Structure 1
Amino acid sequence: MVDMDVESAEVDENERHATWLELFFDLIAVAGVSQLAHLLHGEPGARDFAYYAVLFCAFWMTWTCFTLYGNVAGDRTRIRILLAGMFGMAVMAAAVQGVHDGRHMQAFAVVYILMRILGSRVWQARGQVLLDWPTAQFTLGVIPWTLSVWVDAPARYWLWAAGIALDLWATFGMNGERFLERVQQRDAEKQRRQRARRDMGERDRGSHSRPARLSAAYSDPAHLGERLGLFVLIVLGEGVAQLVAASAATEWDWALYGLALGSFLLLVMLWSLSLRYGYGGVPGLAPRAFQTRTAMALHLLTAGALAAVAAGLGAAVEHRHGQLPPSVRLLLCVGFAVYVLIGAGVSMASHSTSWRSGLRSALPALALPLLIGAFGNGLPSVGVVWLLIPSVAWPQGWHTWRARASTTHP
């Protein structure tokens, strides 16, 4: 269970914190996550899961591009840039349901393209290359989205998935330092040719001012961790909102009381693992343990899994008097399994934990949701939720023990 007695780490007063503008910007993420979670309502099938995965990645990628811009720009952040990003993300959030039924597919794609281009142009205007997250300034993944505007479904969705895959490839396959070096070499060569033409008396038909040399930019880890954590907090808040909305629209009885209490305990323990024993909302992650691009990818998987869990808990309230539909049970169990697997792998890597210790913290927590998902056909909804609690309580207890051990034996 959650240990409220473990003291949190001291906060450096000199660290940057999210500004009011950034918090206002994150309100759009609240709306977006809510709309995305609704894609998994009812009895979702494979098509619904595919929609959710692609649209969640697109929305998260857009939010990340503008978040990193504010992270690096700091006090020099241009308000109109973030406001434009907010408006675009709001349109994307409003179009999610229309994408699902085919009404607003083009609108979602066009706005996503514009937001990614705007997110790339801000770095060109600043004369910087963000080495921590190359995808923020490279628009290779936008090409399939652009082609999709003139293509009908289902080919359109395959192009969207290809665009997301290209962005993920750029995240891990693109070397920012080498790119910066090549651009600087081209810039120096361009200036050399311009000087040669001037020496020969030719008119310089290029730019009348000296081209600005690109410089390297790096994210602020503490500030970025706070923003990523806020996004995960938004996702967990969506879980609470799902429970409240489902409970408000139904008759209150003992089945509802038991399911609501179990769901609330699950969300509290997920909050503790992600934000008290993690970094950026990723359970078990230590600051600076991985490269920023790796931490960002882990954040995407964590947030996506938690949003799926939130949708599953809301559906559990609707089916509290019977059994969960197989697809909803699978949604809950796979979401928990992905979350636990991320936490175990990250803990072993970032805390130099032995593989035996890592397996002790992961296997019991991972086995339970997988067994429930595969063999839980006869379980009632309330039973499924309460049986998932040990899968989160086990790593919670492991992290609590580790924190106390490090305090007793530094």
Structure 2
Amino acid sequence: MTTIEKSEERHASWLELFFDLVAVAGVAQLAHLVHGSTSWGDVGLYVVCFLAFWTAWMCFTVYGNVAKGAARTMPVLLAMAGLAFMAASVEGIHGEHAKVFAIAYIAVRALADRVWESRRGGVRVIVDWPVAQLGFGVVPWVVSLWVDSPWRYGLWALGLALDLVITFAVSGDRLVANITAKLAHRDGPRPRPTLARLDTVHFGERLGLFTIIVLGEGVLNVTDAMAATPEWNHSSVFLTVIAALALLATLWGTSLNQGFGGIPYLAADALGPRLLLPLHCLVAGLLAAFAGALGDAVESVSEGHLETSTRWLLCGSIAAFAIIGSLAGLAAGRGARWAVVTAIPGLVIPLALGLAGQTLAPAVFLWLLVVAAGAGLLRRRSAEPATA
């Protein structure tokens, strides 16, 4: 028979916050894959690499959430080093650095599987996210070490797809059975597995911190692009930068101030971890790609318009963000009317800008995206009763 651990409200520890510093480096490097790129192949590789980095980061975020103050420092620091190698490998991901990226990912996943075992032989079973303990998805990554590109990237995608299937297909009972069978092959006493569930409030804070890091990358790209602009005597530079910062503030308002765990308009108890985690990965990936394109938008001030690839990346990110936000708001009980009012501008405006925004000045383009991204905020404010 298994036992269930109880959780209590708490905040991120210093170890968890230090561990998150590697996410700053990772998001910065990953955003460069789409920064200035006109290749859909780079976009696809960005999706695979971001998902791999996020999965490795999440394995130890889950560990910190469950272990609380008992989290062992050395495994977390070793995982941090592995993630740092992954981040550093992104720049040369088209060449030999791809092997370093894969080896670091495999090492972090292997370490993540080991941390759930206590020094006395006991094992925690994380029923909310089985990927933390089931490493089937790592097998294609191991095979990829002997495969050349572009097939190695396909194997990476296959491994990540297996992880996604495991997330939704493996039940808690099946996970317990797998761990119990694993323990049965050991000599000596066989301790009972301990069922552990995620602390939702603490986990929402951790996911939100990752989202803040991603939005911070957007701020960094905007300021770097402004610093690289040789002439500031034209008002369009300032108007574009202000619009970019207003757009980032709008995304902050929807995903964090009015959302949960970085998911726009979501309530804390609306979704379980098995839906919340993949959704967070999707939103964070969209925002990181958006952050890279936002720097390109500021750099395009001198040309007077946005490049086609930048235009569609910005529009596609905002449209997807609006769809996710409207659905998350529905799940949080905001109502169908609110969802429609939120989704329509979030879809129509980006689509129109993508198709016919090639002649618009970057400042005008970005301000229109502010309207598209913030429609749900305006609707919510108008629905609130006036106070004396």
TM-score between the two structures when normalised by the length of structure 1: 0.88
Aligned residue runs from structure 1 range 113-132, under 5 A:
113-125=106-118, 126-132=122-128
Does the residue aligned with 2:157 lie in a helix, a strand or coil? helix
Residues 81-114 of structure 1, C-alpha deviations (whole Å, 9 max, x = no match): 1101111111110000110x31301000011001
CA distance, structure 2, for counterparts of residue 329 and residue 361 of structure 1: 21
Does the residue aligned with 2:174 lie in a helix, a strand or coil? helix
Q: Is residue 12 of structure 2 the alignment partner of residue 18 of structure 1?
A: yes
Contact 2:215-2:248 within 8 A present in 1 as well: yes
Contact 2:36-2:293 within 8 A present in 1 as well: no
CA distance, structure 2, for counterparts of residue 213 and residue 98 of structure 1: 45
Residues 256-287 of structure 1, C-alpha deviations (whole Å, 9 max, x = no match): 10100000111111111111111101111111
Contact 2:342-2:379 within 8 A present in 1 as well: yes
Residues 208-229 of structure 1, C-alpha deviations (whole Å, 9 max, x = no match): x211221211011111000000
From 215, 219, 228, the equivalent of 1:240 is 219
Does the residue aligned with 1:141 lie in a helix, a strand or coil? helix
Aligned twin of 2:203:
224
1:135 deviation in Å?
A: 0.8
Would you say how many aligned residue pairs link Structure 1 and Structure 2?
374
Task: Report % sequence identity.
Answer: 44
CA distance, structure 1, for counterparts of residue 79 and residue 57 of structure 2: 8
Aligned twin of 1:345:
327
Residues 338-394 of structure 1, C-alpha deviations (whole Å, 9 max, x = no match): 11111100101121x443332122112221112211222222222211211111221
1:176 deviation in Å?
A: 2.0
CA distance, structure 2, for counterparts of residue 65 and residue 380 of structure 1: 43
CA distance, structure 2, for counterparts of residue 281 and residue 372 of structure 1: 26
Aligned twin of 1:36:
30
Q: Is residue 144 of structure 2 the alignment partner of residue 162 of structure 1?
A: no
Aligned twin of 1:55:
49
Residues 2-24 of structure 1, C-alpha deviations (whole Å, 9 max, x = no match): xxxxxxxxxxxx73101111111
> Rg bigger for which structure?
1
Aligned residue runs from structure 1 range 139-288, under 5 A:
139-181=135-177, 183-184=179-180, 190=184, 207=187, 209-251=188-230, 252=232, 253-288=234-269
Q: What is the letter of the counterpart of residue 85 of structure 2?
A: V
Aligned twin of 2:103:
110
1:243 deviation in Å?
A: 0.7
Aligned twin of 2:299:
318
TM-score between the two structures when normalised by the length of structure 2: 0.92
Contact 2:27-2:288 within 8 A present in 1 as well: yes
Structure 1: gaps (5+ residues): 1-13, 192-205
CA distance, structure 1, for counterparts of residue 54 and residue 182 of structure 2: 33
Report the aligned-residue RMSD.
1.7
Aligned residue runs from structure 1 range 366-377, under 5 A:
366-377=347-358
1:298 deviation in Å?
A: 1.0
CA distance, structure 2, for counterparts of residue 174 and residue 79 of structure 1: 29
CA distance, structure 2, for counterparts of residue 59 and residue 297 of structure 1: 13
Distance 1:259 1:397, change over 3 A: same
CA distance, structure 1, for counterparts of residue 166 and residue 265 of structure 2: 26
1:182 deviation in Å?
A: 5.3
Structure 2: gaps (5+ residues): 1-7
Q: What is the letter of the counterpart of residue 259 of structure 1?
A: T
Aligned twin of 2:59:
65
Aligned twin of 2:85:
91
Q: Is residue 68 of structure 2 the alignment partner of residue 74 of structure 1?
A: yes
Distance 1:304 1:182, change over 3 A: closer
Does the residue aligned with 1:129 lie in a helix, a strand or coil? strand
CA distance, structure 2, for counterparts of residue 227 and residue 43 of structure 1: 31
Q: What is the letter of the counterpart of residue 96 of structure 2?
A: R
Aligned twin of 2:4:
none
Q: What is the letter of the counterpart of residue 314 of structure 1?
A: G
